[in-house]
Amino acid sequence: MFSKRKNKFIHRFDVRLTVLYTTIFFSLALILCSFLYYRLNHNLVKQVGIVLADEVTEFKNEINEELLKKNTIQSGCEIFADDISKRKYYPMYFRLYTSSGQQIFQSDNSLISSFPNIEQHITQGMNKIKHHGSLLVIEEHLFISALKNTFILQIGTSLKRTKKTSDNFLYNIIIVIPVMLLFCIIGGMTASRKVRDVLRNIISVTKRITSKNLKERLIVPHENDEIKDLTVTINSMIDRLEKSFEEIKHFTSDVSHELRNPLFALKGEIEVTLSQKRSVSEYQDSMQFCLEKINTLIKMVNDLFLITRFDSKKIQLDFEDINICDLIKDLYDFFLPITLEKKTNLNISQCDEIILTADRIQISQLINNLLDNAVKFTPENGMIDISLVQINDNEIELCICDNGKGIPQDKLKKIFDRFYQVDPSRTDSQKGTGLGLHICKRIVHAHNGSIRVNSNTEQGVSFIIRMPIEQIS
């Protein structure tokens, strides 16, 4: 049990995030402290080197002054040795050699024996700084003008003070490191707790969401950060899922309803026909009725299959150059006998000769559905008008108008929905599947066009389609 809790704790998001934050911050802090420690040592040694160089210049001046006073070089060295022995922070020690390597003078101190051996054959005026144990020694070839001769001077000082300073700095770093580590852990846990709480809330809410409960939403934080973007994105996804489930639910309900009516009608007709012995003409009438219902069902199934292909984007449009005016005239010839039988006027007011790049079958079905609706809902002595115009270099406008009953304004927004019918109580001759206008909309959109409907309750309906002449890939 303890092992499981331990593994769960280690794999928690906030713990892993804290470890990551701590590792990065702690590594950067160590690199920074190491760099500062190096720079401190470097600058301290450099400063001591500057002090030694100043002492070399002072020694040179002291020796020259003594020689000008007719004193010996040893007396100048003694005066300089007495002067540097009073240094509090950086006590100096020196030795003086001839250019041949013979020692002339050395200051009285036991550290002199720790001085490195002199380097001869160094160019006159050249100096060299040496680290030797705890000493910093500067060695320089000096030209003493009063004697017109060259000497080798070694002057050095102890680095104990600089070492103490750097050791104190290192000690402070060692003390601060555990404190920094603690603050890193506390800060990391505090910073990652908000993210963990948001994730736990997301997990909790999403676990409650099912197909029967899509009303749950995540609480959107006030801060404009990535967490808010994630929350809004998830809520938008749930909105889309809810809408899709509602559409599926309505679609299933509508399909069930639309299939049930003709099936019950078939069942009732067959039961009535078989209930008693009938004549041949009565059997033929019954079979004719059944055939009409079956054709209605087949049309509905075909329409549903076409809509499904549009939804899954599996429909392949066969684009070709077609004379849409000729296509309209062919459909006009097809519907003309029907309108004459209904005593309805069908007219083509304008039909420009236009070569359109489109799918012939789909465009034919589009115009057929619109004309079928117009013929179905236009009363006796009514008027149906077709017009086709080219409105610019690459766009056509097809308008099919009638002066029938029209559509109320509050129902126009739903006219292209699946299975939607403005008046469900219409007679069988007027009643359709409610899929025709939805299919029209999908065909127009597949051709990168637009379709809209204008309605006046007393003047009928106008369906206006705009479509590009050439399709751009």
pLDDT, greater one: 132 or 468: 468
pLDDT, greater one: 459 or 422: 459
Cα–Cα distance measured from residue 150 to residue 143, given in angstroms and rounded to the nearest whole number: 4
Pull the structure tokens for residue 264: 């019950």
pLDDT band of 240, cuts 50, 70, 90: confident
- The CA R_g of the chain, rounded to the nearest whole Å, is 51
- In this prediction the pTM is 0.49
Cα–Cα distance measured from residue 300 to residue 285, given in angstroms and rounded to the nearest whole number: 23
pLDDT of residue 427: 44
Handedness of CA 178, 179, 184, 187 (dihedral sign): positive
pLDDT of residue 456: 66
Mean pLDDT of all residues belonging to the chain: 78
Pair type for strands 92-98 and 103-106: antiparallel
For residue 66, the number of C-alpha atoms closer than 13 Å in the C-beta half-sphere is 17
pLDDT of residue 121: 46
pLDDT of residue 466: 92
Considering only CA atoms, which of 163, 150, 56 is closest in space to residue 98?
Answer: 150
DSSP 271-340: HHHHTS---HHHHHHHHHHHHHHHHHHHHHHHHHHHHHHHHTT-----EEEEEHHHHHHHHHHHHHHHHH
Q: Please compute the mean of the pLDDT values over residues 274-285 and round it to a whole number.
A: 84
pLDDT in tens, 360-417: 888 888 888 888 888 888 888 888 899 999 888 888 999 998 887 777 777 777 787 7
pLDDT in tens, 36-50: 988 988 888 888 888
Phi, psi of 180 (to 5 degrees): -60, -45
Pull the structure tokens for residue 376: 């179905």
- Specify whether the CB–CB gap between 365 and 327 falls below 8 A: no
pLDDT band of 124, cuts 50, 70, 90: very low
pLDDT in tens, 183-214: 877 877 777 777 777 777 777 877 877 767 77
Say if residue 1's pLDDT is above 70.
Answer: no
Q: Please compute the mean of the pLDDT values over residues 324-342 and round it to a whole number.
A: 88
Describe the crossing of helices 160-208 and 13-68 by its angle, rounded to 10 degrees. 160
Considering only CA atoms, which of 156, 129, 154 is closest in space to residue 141?
Answer: 154
Considering only CA atoms, which of 111, 143, 139, 110 is closest in space to residue 127?
Answer: 139
25-29, 304-308, 451-455: the lowest-pLDDT one: 304-308
pLDDT of residue 143: 66
Say if residue 305's pLDDT is above 80.
Answer: no
Domains of the chain with bracketed CATH: 13-165 (3.30.450), 226-309 (1.10.287.130), 316-468 (3.30.565.10)
Say if residue 109's pLDDT is above 70.
Answer: no
Say if residue 127's pLDDT is above 60.
Answer: no
Cα–Cα distance measured from residue 44 to residue 55, given in angstroms and rounded to the nearest whole number: 17
Q: Point out which residues pair with 384 in neighbouring strands.
A: 346, 402
Describe the crossing of helices 436-446 and 280-311 by its angle, rounded to 10 degrees. 30
Considering only CA atoms, which of 75, 93, 108 is closest in space to residue 139?
Answer: 93
- CB-based contacts of 433: which residues, under 8 Å, 6+ apart? 258, 296, 299, 300, 303, 419
* DSSP H or E segment with residue 81: helix 73-84
Q: Kindly report the length of the chain.
A: 473
Cα–Cα distance measured from residue 153 to residue 156, given in angstroms and rounded to the nearest whole number: 10
pLDDT in tens, 282-300: 888 888 888 877 887 787 7
pLDDT of residue 130: 56
What share of the chain in percent tops pLDDT 70? 82
Secondary structure string (H, E, C) spanning 90-120: CCEEEEEEECCCCEEEECCCHHHHHCCCCCC
Considering only CA atoms, which of 181, 174, 196, 177 is closest in space to residue 19?
Answer: 181
Cα–Cα distance measured from residue 295 to residue 451, given in angstroms and rounded to the nearest whole number: 28
Phi, psi of 332 (to 5 degrees): -60, -45
DSSP 383-433: EEEEEEEEEETTEEEEEEEE-SS---GGGGGGTTSTT--S-TT--TTT---
